[in-house]
Every structure is written in C-alpha cells, then in structure tokens.
Amino acid sequence: MDVIVCVKQVPETAEAELKIDASGKKIEKTGLVFDINEWDDYALEEAVRIKEKFGGTVTAITVGPEDSDSTLRKCLARGADKAIRLTDPKFEGSDAFATAKILHSVIKTMHFDLILTGAQAGDDGSAVVGPVLAELLGVPHAAMVKKIELGEGKAVVNRELEGGLEERLEVKLPALFAVQTGINEPRYVSIMGIRKAMQKEIKVMRLSDTGLNESEVGESGSWLKIEKLYVPPVEKQAEFLQGSPDEIATKIVEILKSRGLI
C-alpha cells in the first residue's frame, strides 16, 4: 500500500501577536514558530499506521520554502520513507488551486494507492487543495474523513457531516481522503527516528521539474489573489435591538445593507 501525504508548514499563531508586513498582503513572520499543519499531522499518522498494517511506503510532499525541510524531517522521523519539497520563487502567491496543480504535476508521475491530506490548512483556513488535487488526478475523494477501513481495491470511510452526523461511504482505490483531526492520536517523534531522518534525502524539485510554466503557478495561475490584509477595527458601540422576532430580523437586514454586507 503506497501512500502519499501532502503536508504544509504553517506558523503557530494561537499565542502570537500577529502583525501585517510592509506589503500589506502577508503577516510578519519574524519571531513566529513554524510546524506541520495540525490536520496534516493526523494525515501523516494515518499513513504510517496503514504502512505498518499493510506494508508499502509513505511519501511526504510539500510546496514550500527551504525551511519546510524541518516539517519534512519530522515526517521522516515519524515513519515516512521519502520526502519531496517543491520550491521555486515562481510558486510565491499560489492559491489552493495553483498549489494543487503543482502537487498534481509531480504526483501524477508516481505510483500510489492512497493520497492523504489534512481537511484544511491552519493558516488560511483553506480546504480546497485536496479535492482539487483529486479532480486533477481523476480519482475519487472524500473530505472530513474520521475513519478509514481498507479492503481489496476499496476503502470504507466515515466522514463528518453537519450537526454531529457521519456518513459512511465505500470508495474505490486509488483515492484521496482529506482527514479530520481525531482520526487517530499522532505519535511522538523518537530520538532514534530523528537521527534516522537526518540521514535521509529530501528531494527538491523546481518549476522546471514540474512541466508547468510560469503562467500556471503563482498569482498568475491562481483563482484567488490577496488584495489586502488588515486588522478589523475595534468598535466600542453596541446597539440593542428590541421588538418582535420579525421586527428584529428586519432591523438586522437593514443594518447589514447599510454597511454593504449584503
């Protein structure tokens, strides 16, 4: 069972004071600690457990700068067999669609039975890369996956729905699953695993290795572009609405319209 895991290195911002950089389109990264995306951490652990049960290989792949190697080293220390980093200045500004195209350009040449991604990214909240990648590869996919049971040429998965409900699906392999947190409990990295990981090669690929051109990646190859980042202004005034539910609903609609929100 050959499994590919798509991972992303993201800043830990839970207790950090974020600032907008001079460009107005990015956060200031100085002083921030970076680590593997939380959802991808669970995807990696699931991939390693599948390898331990069924045999095969686990390949971790990321689109990111050179310092993403620390995340890939963690993947190797946790049980991944290979690691690939896709790095090029031309990738800067790639949205989820462009990122999926970059991943697709490499993964389409690889053998895989299963691709695992996190359900979403912790930095921008995007949940698009996995499904778009599956569509580009022409394989079935499921998102928000909380349980995977593998069989001969198929997988049965439980995926999370709204309202605490779950859906159980049978999916033909090869397939892509975007996994939710809680699908497992990620293991700690051992000292021996870290030592072994430091001796393994991380394959680095550039734009010229992907078969894509400049117009297909970065901002020019993206559906979405960031125009501006800003801290929402603090409003101290609170307005209490009174009346019947219908009257209050009407007032809320009027307020939203006056502020151009609908």
Is position 228 within any domain? no
Under 8 Å between Cβ of 174 and 114: yes
Is position 257 within any domain? no
DSSP labels for 5-55?
EE--EEE--TT----B-TTSSSB--TT--EEE-HHHHHHHHHHHHHHHHH-
Could you report the per-residue pLDDT of 150-164, keeping only the tens digit for each? 999 999 999 999 988
Is position 18 within any domain? yes
Is position 261 within any domain? no
Is position 177 within any domain? yes
Number of domains within the chain: 1
d(CA 153, CA 155): 7
Which residue carries 């040449």 as its tokens?
Answer: 109
Is position 235 within any domain? no
Is position 13 within any domain? yes
Under 8 Å between Cβ of 19 and 84: no
* Mean pLDDT value across the chain: 94
What residue numbers bound the domain in which 103 lies?
Answer: 3-221
Under 8 Å between Cβ of 71 and 86: no
At 12, which CATH number?
A: 3.40.50.620
Is position 196 within any domain? yes
Under 8 Å between Cβ of 11 and 38: no
**Sequential pLDDT tens for the chain (262 residues):** 999 999 999 999 888 888 899 888 888 988 899 999 999 999 999 999 999 999 999 999 999 999 999 999 999 999 999 999 999 999 999 999 999 999 999 999 999 999 999 999 999 899 999 999 999 999 999 999 999 999 999 999 999 999 889 999 999 999 999 999 999 999 998 888 899 899 999 999 999 999 999 999 999 999 999 999 988 887 777 788 999 999 999 999 999 999 888 8
Q: What is the pLDDT of residue 233?
A: 82
